[in-house]
A and B are shown apart, each in its own frame.
Chain A
């Protein structure tokens, strides 16, 4: 068993330590800290899921997608709508069993994954900028469709669906999906499918000549990635209990892309750390704003991004690597 344990973690226990740390933080926050900190913690975990899943397409498979907010929106709205429907037909009310949210997250993931399949199948034959434009267009279409659909609130926003009452549940649930997402990708990278992802990023023609079905491989990466985007959407929806289409605008995609790029394209640990920075730094800089009276937060935040990209284009992963003697297993 310990041997399997070692194998599973790839003999790298750093992410496990981080996850346990976040878990402990959340548990502590559940009765010690104010609700704003709790909100931030759940956002952090959701952002980590989003960053890890986008990293699978943009960093590991090397396809530049700009549609992650769209998949998240599909997950969020379908999960919210489904919970409303369940509530209406089965009268779950305030005391909905916690299990229902896990089922809703699964359903949200499945619907986003299906959307990923439908979008990916025709568009993943495109390369580089063209794929970016198609996925960007897709996520805008989703947003516009939501704005124009009265049943889910349209531009006014959508509320009144089921929401878990306890922070501890929301947090643990989100953390569970993060752990699942992280280890799925980590394990995949040690398997044939994961290596196929990497081969598509490195050289498609060579990959094809070795028998890798590159289109199928890309679609698989896309589906897995959008599945987790949908799950993140569902977690987000039920935690904040109110959705507006503006949340899923292009700016959201950009936020996630910043996490992936800042973390170092293709690095699992890097994008988790970057998610922490991107989520918490603007909040951490808030006291500075009170002190100076000017909104320096975004200035410092963007300056930091520019500096990292100039000094360390490989992102946080590159910074981590420079502390190690030998290039890692990647």
Chain B
């Protein structure tokens, strides 16, 4: 079960350097349709750079990135998002001064197709679209136990719920692949466990691929179907949790060359 049958995201020999530093060098891997893949690696291994090149924030110097069989190189972030790639951020990026509902509705971009004058004349298309979007948003918020908080400001939510809201905001755009950047960062044991169930639930209920960066090994080992291990911008191991757990290269990357002499 090494390479997935039909891949939704493909990295082909991607290199991204900042000045002299190669954050990602000659990286190739793939994420399959409806697959749950985790990207792990020590600090500074280039994990977030991988996210940033595929979501269009940086442009790699060489190599190619295909998403749903289309190259995303040179596309702007919003265009890539329009292709069906949703993401969350390591340091939560909610619209803090807006309500929970407004946050979610901004994520629902693909659902809105009315002219800018229509809200002024309250056309039936506008009213219907807004009502449907709100209904769907409430349904999703209910799914994540955030329904009662729809009118609260995003900044007033506790940390765990802010993480959840970021996921809802991304999910409402119906992405084909959702990328979670360190979703368990700053969470305690109990919250991480809830998060594991949540990610599995997202995958199952929304029937989509999930790609996550994570440091929490319990979470990664517990839910991933496949793991890609990154060190110094290169993929040093790829495979099932069992394979990665036993890999000598991975242990060396995390603990040093003499392996586990802690």
Contacts and interface: CB of A to CB of B under 8 A. Distances in A.
Contacts of A213: 76, 78
Which of B106, B110, B153 has the most C-beta atoms of chain A within 10 angstroms of its own C-beta?
B106
A190 B110 CA distance: 17
B169 A210 contact: yes
A322 interface: no
Interface string A1-28: 0001001100000000000000000000
A184 interface: yes
A293 interface: no
A166 interface: no
Which of B86, B107, B112, B170 has the most C-beta atoms of chain A within 10 angstroms of its own C-beta?
B107
Interface stretch (A42-50, A145-153, A198-206): A198-206
Interface in B63-106: 76-78, 81-82, 86-87, 89, 93-99, 102, 105-106
Interface string B110-121: 101010101110
A325 to B, nearest CB: 13
Given A4-B122, A191-B119, A202 B78 contact: no
A199 B106 CA distance: 7
Nearest to A5: B122
B81 A199 contact: no
B109 interface: yes
A213 B102 CA distance: 17
B130 interface: yes
A169 interface: no
B153 A327 contact: yes
B162 interface: no
A211 B93 contact: no
B109 A212 contact: yes
A187 B97 CA distance: 19
B152 to A, nearest CB: 8
B96 A191 contact: no
Contact of B116 (A4, A191, A212): A191
B46 interface: no
B122 A207 contact: no
B112 A192 contact: yes
Interface residues of A, number: 31
Contacts of A327: 153
A129 interface: no
A183 interface: yes
A252 interface: no
A208 interface: yes
A220 B82 contact: no
Which of B57, B96, B102, B173 has the most C-beta atoms of chain A within 10 angstroms of its own C-beta?
B102
A209 B79 CA distance: 9
B55 interface: yes
Given A4-B122, A8-B122, A198-B102, A212 B78 contact: yes
B211 interface: no
Which of A194, A210, A329 has the most C-beta atoms of chain B within 10 angstroms of its own C-beta?
A210
B112 A211 contact: no
B120 A184 contact: yes
Nearest to A326: B151
A198 B93 contact: no
Contact of A211 (B95, B110, B114, B122): B110
Nearest to A188: B119
A53 interface: no
B110 to A, nearest CB: 7
A252 B200 CA distance: 58
A149 B119 CA distance: 41
Contacts of B94: 203, 206
A327 to B, nearest CB: 7
Contact of A206 (B56, B82, B89): B89
B120 A211 contact: no
A198 B98 contact: yes
A210 B122 contact: no
A276 interface: no
Which of B81, B95, B170, B173 has the most C-beta atoms of chain A within 10 angstroms of its own C-beta?
B95
Contact of B105 (A8, A184, A195): A195
B95 A198 contact: yes
Nearest to B133: A192
B126 interface: yes
A214 interface: yes
A184 B169 CA distance: 27
Given A192-B109, A205-B93, A210 B170 contact: yes
B102 A211 contact: no
A202 B116 contact: no
Contacts of A183: 120
Contacts of B126: 191
Which of A188, A206, A209, A213 has the most C-beta atoms of chain B within 10 angstroms of its own C-beta?
A209
6 contacts: A190-B130, A191-B114, A192-B114, A203-B94, A207-B106, A209-B86
Given A198-B95, A212-B109, 13 more contacts: A191-B114, A192-B105, A195-B106, A198-B98, A199-B106, A202-B95, A202-B97, A205-B89, A206-B94, A209-B81, A210-B170, A211-B78, A329-B99
The 7 closest A-B pairs by CB, nearest first: A202-B95, A191-B119, A192-B112, A208-B77, A211-B109, A206-B93, A211-B81
Interface of A: 4, 7-8, 183-184, 187-188, 190-196, 198-199, 202-203, 205-214, 220, 327, 329
